[in-house]
Structure 1
Amino acid sequence: MRHYYLLTGCFLLIHQFVLAQTPTGKLRGTALTADGKPAMAATILLKDTRYGASSEADGSYSLEVPEGRYTLVVQRLGLESQTLPVRVRGGETVTVQPLLLKEASRQLDDVVVTGQYEPQSLRQSVYQIRTIDRERIQLRGATNLISVLNNELGIRFSNDLVLGTSDIQLMGMSGRNVKILLDGVPMVDRGDTRESLNQIDINTIERVEIVEGPMSVSYGTDALAGIINIITKKPGQERLSVTARLQEETASTEYRPLTGQGVHNQNLGVTWQRKGWNAYVGGTHNGFGGWRGLSTTRAKDWHPKEQLLGNVKLGYRNEAFTIWYRLDALNETIDAMGPANINTNQARDQNYITGRLTHQLQSDWKASEQWQINAILSYTDYSRRTQTTNIDLNTGRRTLSLGAGEQDLSLFDTKIFRATAQYRVSNAVSFQPGVDINLDAASGARILGSPSINDYAVFVSSELKPTSTITLRPGLRFIKNSVYDAPPVIPSLNAKVVLHKNTDLRFAYARGFRSPALRELYFNFFDASHSIKGNPDLKAEYSNSFNGSLTWRSITTPTLRLTSTLTGFYNDFHNLIDYGYDPASPGVMMTININRFKTTGGTLNNTLNAKNFQFTLGFSHVGRYNSLNENDRELPAFVWSPEVNSNLTYHLQKIDTKVSFFYKYTGRRPIYETLMNSEGTATIHLAETAAYHWADFTVNKSLTKYLTLNTGVKNLFNVTRLNNTSGDVGGSHSTGGAVPLSYGRSYFLGLNFQWSQQ
């Protein structure tokens, strides 16, 4: 605990700095389009500062800033930006003349923060980062993050209909190797899946940043395949705003308004800002009535689910200092109804109840032009309860089931302290030393004992610019793990070379290390459909990874922009953790180490921006290592799976309506497996999960200055299950049989409300 007292003390010392504030003044103005109409949602920035805002529905904006001279920048996607020098005096209000933004279909550079020394444009980053902004999330009518990510190349999801959970796969790697961050803070999960992706309030997300490849130097364990960092919305300047959302969606042909069958989303949020202080409080209800599917009993193929999510945030900021506290709360209940016994007319039901409280305290301090300090203190309390009851369908009377493991509570808690300092020696040399402490503990009936794992790390990286066209980012991480002997040092090297003013080359090498998680070591899970146990003898995972990308902006005119990015990767893993049969009990699966595993592949992404028109087209080909190749060289070393995706958005300006089409083709996924025939002879079998097409069509229409309508169709091809020819159909963690994907084609209608007052 001394680390937390020390950090708290640091925050108190820094707070004294805040008290010495300079006089402030106000800056007001209006952004207009070329035809004199309000330019809603334009970005308002003061160049080379942290101050910014967004214009309202009437085009107006307001900022409160320390007195001084600034360069005002006003910009919006599809419009030319405008700059204007301004001077602000303490206690006065400066009214800026209305600024007209001319039409221009050019793509603004995204600003990214994951792995950066400070927020910077995507083009300047040495990492190849994909971003999903708030507009695309809104256009998709998404009620959870998975429905947004499922259109991305190299990302796949798998579903466990028994538990009602989902897992992610990135670059051919399972979710246990993907680190999920919420504003830079790791999310906690009970099992080896990344179910936390489904437990984040979609209404609070500003953007999502996806970094492929190991980030073990900067972010430590669980980051072998990559990072998905969810960035939440930040408040604007001195405003009271109210946002609300109501969206209704069918589950295939099943629907009942507001409750019961179908998908139901309601959200309400209030933001307040004054003199640097800001506060936010919001809540979301997600309801899913389940989907019967092929079931002919009271049990449903997809379980009903209820989520209550709450968010509270309180912060303070000025030009040099930012501090904020955030609380995220989740209560989720999944109802797994069992079939009725035809003799007794009784049934066995299970409720899976998840509770999560995540506390974050974060601070940034720009001590000088050379020094900047960032700190994060986080505590997550996570619980997963299984409640089993027997119901008499004649009387409706319920009683608790007393079977082994049918009343269960698993508890996990994680404490995190992370601090970094950025020191700029010159424009060509910068350093980032940091410390990263993770303390994990677990307990419960399904947990072997009350284990804990503590991970302490010190890391340092440097950004070097020997020339104006070359950027290098070497890094080292030194780890002390309470359970595993980590390598003496984990290295990485990233580089970016500007080959031409419109062409950038990036390449990287990284050494990965991941110690087994508590859930893999000590978590045992046995029920009617699962027989899985942890393995306390697991070894740590290691990897060597190579990544490269080439970005070419072939067309960069004021009215047209075409960007193409070609990427490639190769990952070589040792002691990868996966599932295998327990030698002492063949009917039980357990976590094991695989001696060798590899993934390789590449992607090609193309983005076209024209007048009122945005179009993307991407291809990927991912190969996963075939371990049977080691014994039979006639078999291929890799099995490959292709993907194609495309997004199209057209803005009908005269009626202020956006029409969007999202498409992805996911190719078949082959795998070689060894099967035993009736004579006890092993044979090699090529199995595969079938390919499928997915498409969504949406319409987004502004009804009034405060109200927007969103409607459309999801899963146009009505895909529900994928054929799977695997011969493994008898195991407790079987990969055989049809693979569940979705509850079919659905239709949705939503209203979004946003009101604010300066």
Structure 2
Amino acid sequence: MNNKITPLLLFGLFAFLSMHNLSAQQLNGSVQGTIFLSDGSPAPFATVRVKGTEVGTTTNKAGNFLLDKLAEGKHELHISMIGYESVSQSIRIGNNKNTSFTTRLNPSKNQLNEVVVTGQYEPQSLRKSVYNVRVIDSERIRLRGAVNVIGVLNNELGFRFSNDNTLGTTDVQLMGMSGRNVKILLDGLPMVDRGDTRESLNQIDVNSIERIEIVEGPMSVSYGSDALAGVINIITRKPGNERLGVTARVQEETANKEYKLLNSQGVHLQNVGVTWQKKGWNISTGVTNNTFGGWQGLSEGRAKDWLPKDQLFGHGKVGYRTENVNIYYRLDALKETLLSQGAENVNTHQASDQKYITHRYVHQLQGDWKLSDRLQLNGQASYTDYQRRTQTTILDLTTGLRTLSLGQGEQDISKFTSQTYRATASYKVSSAVSVQPGIDINLDASSGARILGSPTINDYAFFVSSTLNPTARVSIRPGLRFIKNSVYDAPPVIPSLNTKFALANNLDLRLAYARGFRSPALRELYFNFFDASHSIRGNPNLKAENSNSFNGSLAWQASPKFKSTLGAFYNVFNNLISYGIDPSDPRVSMNINIDKFKTTGITLENVFSWKDLQATVGFSYIGRYNNLLTQTDTINYVGGMPPSFMWSPEVNTNLTYTLRKIDTKVSFFYKYSGKRPSYLATATTDGNVSATLTEIAAFHWADLTLTKPIAKYLTLTTGIKNLFNITRLANSSTDTGGAHSSSGPAPVSYGRSYFLGLSFQWYKN
């Protein structure tokens, strides 16, 4: 540096410090305030600074802050928080006066540092997590105009859905694995399902969701059974720090070309919610009615391809929070009615109709207690009461008289109850070592005409994990889970090891291994289901599943507005439970243990923003094991065996462009799902066996939406779903791959639909 300039710089620095010290002697005002998020909830740990000074602080868990000893006059506050757009606002400080300040933070266009909670000791950013977590935030859910959770997930990489139009249910598949190996959580607590499908995913009020966190790969150490393929954690909205808040939403949507306003045909959604808070106490409640009138499709007469469905959701929550304690009770209730109308008998002019009526009540009690900066306790308890009733009636179309049918299994109630108790402690031994021990208790019971006896399964577990940071760039998280199951002998211990290496300031490598264990559920052991389209028998002789899984990812954050993540996984499952033929009756399907199953694949996801454009572009290539390879010891295949893995590609993109001049967001959601191949063993004319390739066809899915505020408290959302008008896929198999399937085309949707929605938000502080 120039020797003549250096003294001037030192003098200038001395003068600046002197002036700063002089002003410090005149500090005599303060500002206190509250920072809210866009949904009205408090913004904890937001940074508040006075521009041009070193004065600053962070908000507490309630979003409150205090800056005192400020000089009289005009100042500019700068508020920032990870995952949210920064805010700057001028304030004026009076002599010896306290100034109040309140503002809201909107979600950032750049969500690369989203805070996550699934599998974490405490909320932390995606960058710091040892898990590769995908987040679908409230903004994307709002822009999609979805009426259910499947409408949010259907264009995500690795997700595929299979529909049973006879029962009106939908199952999820994740990274090549069926829904029975995917853990569905509501605020970290497990959801209960009647059958092997994850229909609970469609029985959660989409209007109550704050975000969805997805962890791919086994999470058995943290969350126990059913978590072999991954975890979907649906996190509900929490009451904010506002004194009073009111939200409402109405949406009308066509079912292909079928629609009647507010009635019968089409999709009709109405929702209202209220929140209130005072002196640490908070209360929230909400009600949603979601009605789908069904879709005729190719069916004739009274029958419909897609069954009419009516869902009534209700939730209520009461909680209390302070700086160190947060406890709440929440109730989620559902009544769902599906109607299957039978064809008219031309001779008797009668028709057989079936109603499937579901009641689900989920009680949960959760609490956090921060005893010190080092020690924090968490407790969770839940009770689920789930009932599904089948009611069959005979309708005389001439007289209109309806009577109950007395056929076998046509009047039935299946009951499932589940109790979950979970407690964890997080202790920071030092800045480099943290430990989290915990206990997990699950008590399941079921009964009903289709249930063999009144069985119960109790699962008790102790788990412990630790986070080790030997250096600032290395994070290691080993874990162990010890299980006692009332029916199955679990392994002595289930281990996992997750690691994260910061290879550079913008490059992170994650490597993980996990051992998985899943005991068969009550539904797989004892649930029998026979009707005109299903012949399924439970299997009390099932073995428990276990797995070894390896996955890794390389995340490159080239800039604050661009992130690219390359991932790979390889899973080996032993005794995987799937559907097969009952050896005593080839007409009946039953749960059986497959000797071995494997999945492997790669994923690539890119998230970026540029000016007014936000985008996600992804690709996956997933391979599923050819089950016929396990039969090579007993069957001689003509022409040799096909490849070990059956591969299927996927491409997706989410684009949102903001038209600032008219304050409007235009969003495009697209996904290409490649062919899904499988192999069947078929007998040849000469008595030998050959491997026959079957495929479910590829398809393109796209939604286009437009969102615009039209008044101070009102937002309009409209658009087109399923632009390519996909209804069913060509299927060369004699069966779509499960006991709930049927031969012929695989159903996907009721086709292109148009929707118009209006949402209302009002808050009073």
Q: TM-score, normalised by structure 1?
A: 0.89
In the alignment, what sits opposite 1:654? 661
Cα distance, 1:718 vs structure 2: 0.1
The superposition leaves residues 101-134 of structure 1 with CA deviations (integer Å, 9 ceiling, x where unpaired) of 9x99644510100000000001100000000001
Cα distance, 1:736 vs structure 2: 3.1
Amino acid at match of 1:563: K
In the alignment, what sits opposite 1:271? 275
8 Å contact 1:26–1:62 — kept in the other structure? Answer: no
Looking at structure 2, the residues matched to 673 and 138 of structure 1 have their Cα atoms a distance apart, in angstroms, of 42
The superposition leaves residues 475-498 of structure 1 with CA deviations (integer Å, 9 ceiling, x where unpaired) of 000000000000000000000000
Distance 1:73-1:409 versus aligned 2 partners, 3 A rule: same
In the alignment, what sits opposite 2:693? 686
Amino acid at match of 1:457: A
Q: Secondary structure at the match of 1:172?
A: coil
Query: How is 1:204-219 mapped onto 2 (pairs within 5 angstroms)?
Result: 204-219=208-223
- For the pair 1:28 / 2:26, whether they are aligned, the reply is no
Cα distance, 1:542 vs structure 2: 0.4
**Selected match of 2:711 from 690, 704, 709:** 704
In the alignment, what sits opposite 2:258? 254
Looking at structure 2, the residues matched to 285 and 737 of structure 1 have their Cα atoms a distance apart, in angstroms, of 33
Q: Secondary structure at the match of 1:123?
A: coil
8 Å contact 1:117–1:422 — kept in the other structure? Answer: yes
In the alignment, what sits opposite 1:550? 554
Looking at structure 2, the residues matched to 730 and 570 of structure 1 have their Cα atoms a distance apart, in angstroms, of 22
The superposition leaves residues 596-633 of structure 1 with CA deviations (integer Å, 9 ceiling, x where unpaired) of 00000010001111222101110000000002235266
Looking at structure 2, the residues matched to 298 and 543 of structure 1 have their Cα atoms a distance apart, in angstroms, of 47
Looking at structure 2, the residues matched to 446 and 86 of structure 1 have their Cα atoms a distance apart, in angstroms, of 71
In the alignment, what sits opposite 1:626? 626
Looking at structure 2, the residues matched to 296 and 374 of structure 1 have their Cα atoms a distance apart, in angstroms, of 55
Q: Secondary structure at the match of 1:394?
A: coil
8 Å contact 2:316–2:330 — kept in the other structure? Answer: yes
Looking at structure 2, the residues matched to 659 and 451 of structure 1 have their Cα atoms a distance apart, in angstroms, of 52
- For the pair 1:745 / 2:743, whether they are aligned, the reply is no
In the alignment, what sits opposite 1:402? 406
- For the pair 1:427 / 2:431, whether they are aligned, the reply is yes
8 Å contact 2:325–2:368 — kept in the other structure? Answer: yes
Root mean square deviation of aligned Cα: 2.7
Cα distance, 1:682 vs structure 2: 2.6
Cα distance, 1:28 vs structure 2: 3.4
In the alignment, what sits opposite 1:226? 230
Distance 1:152-1:64 versus aligned 2 partners, 3 A rule: closer
Query: How is 1:149-548 mapped onto 2 (pairs within 5 angstroms)?
Result: 149-548=153-552
The superposition leaves residues 537-579 of structure 1 with CA deviations (integer Å, 9 ceiling, x where unpaired) of 00000000001000001234xxxx2211000000000000000
8 Å contact 1:178–1:223 — kept in the other structure? Answer: yes
Distance 1:527-1:105 versus aligned 2 partners, 3 A rule: closer
**Selected match of 1:724 from 712, 721, 731:** 731
Looking at structure 2, the residues matched to 541 and 84 of structure 1 have their Cα atoms a distance apart, in angstroms, of 61
Cα distance, 1:737 vs structure 2: 1.2
Q: Secondary structure at the match of 2:207?
A: helix
Q: Secondary structure at the match of 2:201?
A: helix
**Selected match of 2:649 from 617, 642, 645:** 642
Distance 1:588-1:121 versus aligned 2 partners, 3 A rule: same
Distance 1:198-1:40 versus aligned 2 partners, 3 A rule: closer
Distance 1:730-1:239 versus aligned 2 partners, 3 A rule: closer
Q: Secondary structure at the match of 2:607?
A: strand
In the alignment, what sits opposite 2:134? 130
Looking at structure 2, the residues matched to 166 and 729 of structure 1 have their Cα atoms a distance apart, in angstroms, of 13
Q: Secondary structure at the match of 2:127?
A: helix
In the alignment, what sits opposite 2:599? 599
The superposition leaves residues 504-547 of structure 1 with CA deviations (integer Å, 9 ceiling, x where unpaired) of 00010000000000000000000000000100000000000001
- For the pair 1:116 / 2:120, whether they are aligned, the reply is yes
8 Å contact 1:64–1:275 — kept in the other structure? Answer: no
8 Å contact 2:171–2:199 — kept in the other structure? Answer: yes
In the alignment, what sits opposite 2:585? 585
Q: Which entry has the higher C-alpha Rg, 1 or 2? A: 2
Distance 1:490-1:86 versus aligned 2 partners, 3 A rule: farther
In the alignment, what sits opposite 2:27? none
Looking at structure 2, the residues matched to 753 and 76 of structure 1 have their Cα atoms a distance apart, in angstroms, of 26
8 Å contact 1:289–1:304 — kept in the other structure? Answer: yes
Amino acid at match of 1:656: D
Looking at structure 2, the residues matched to 169 and 352 of structure 1 have their Cα atoms a distance apart, in angstroms, of 24
Looking at structure 1, the residues matched to 582 and 732 of structure 2 have their Cα atoms a distance apart, in angstroms, of 24
Aligned residues: 708
Amino acid at match of 2:722: N
Looking at structure 2, the residues matched to 437 and 511 of structure 1 have their Cα atoms a distance apart, in angstroms, of 20
Looking at structure 1, the residues matched to 736 and 439 of structure 2 have their Cα atoms a distance apart, in angstroms, of 47
8 Å contact 1:629–1:636 — kept in the other structure? Answer: no
The superposition leaves residues 636-676 of structure 1 with CA deviations (integer Å, 9 ceiling, x where unpaired) of 01000000001110011221110000000000000011123
Distance 1:99-1:184 versus aligned 2 partners, 3 A rule: closer
- For the pair 1:614 / 2:614, whether they are aligned, the reply is yes
Looking at structure 1, the residues matched to 435 and 736 of structure 2 have their Cα atoms a distance apart, in angstroms, of 53
8 Å contact 1:675–1:727 — kept in the other structure? Answer: no
8 Å contact 2:135–2:212 — kept in the other structure? Answer: yes
Looking at structure 1, the residues matched to 426 and 527 of structure 2 have their Cα atoms a distance apart, in angstroms, of 39
8 Å contact 2:701–2:723 — kept in the other structure? Answer: yes
In the alignment, what sits opposite 2:565? 565
Q: Secondary structure at the match of 1:246?
A: strand
Amino acid at match of 1:287: T
Looking at structure 1, the residues matched to 128 and 35 of structure 2 have their Cα atoms a distance apart, in angstroms, of 31
The superposition leaves residues 182-235 of structure 1 with CA deviations (integer Å, 9 ceiling, x where unpaired) of 001100000000000100000000000000000000000000000000000011
Amino acid at match of 1:569: F
Q: Percent of counterpart pairs with the same letter?
A: 63
Q: Secondary structure at the match of 2:139?
A: helix
Looking at structure 2, the residues matched to 231 and 281 of structure 1 have their Cα atoms a distance apart, in angstroms, of 16
In the alignment, what sits opposite 2:17? none
Cα distance, 1:395 vs structure 2: 1.2
8 Å contact 1:63–1:238 — kept in the other structure? Answer: no
Amino acid at match of 1:401: S
Q: TM-score, normalised by structure 2?
A: 0.88
Looking at structure 1, the residues matched to 516 and 91 of structure 2 have their Cα atoms a distance apart, in angstroms, of 48
8 Å contact 2:579–2:739 — kept in the other structure? Answer: no
Looking at structure 2, the residues matched to 663 and 600 of structure 1 have their Cα atoms a distance apart, in angstroms, of 24
Cα distance, 1:62 vs structure 2: 13
* Structure 1 stretches lacking a partner, 5+ long: 1-24, 32-38, 50-60
8 Å contact 1:476–1:491 — kept in the other structure? Answer: yes
Distance 1:29-1:514 versus aligned 2 partners, 3 A rule: closer
Cα distance, 1:64 vs structure 2: 6.5
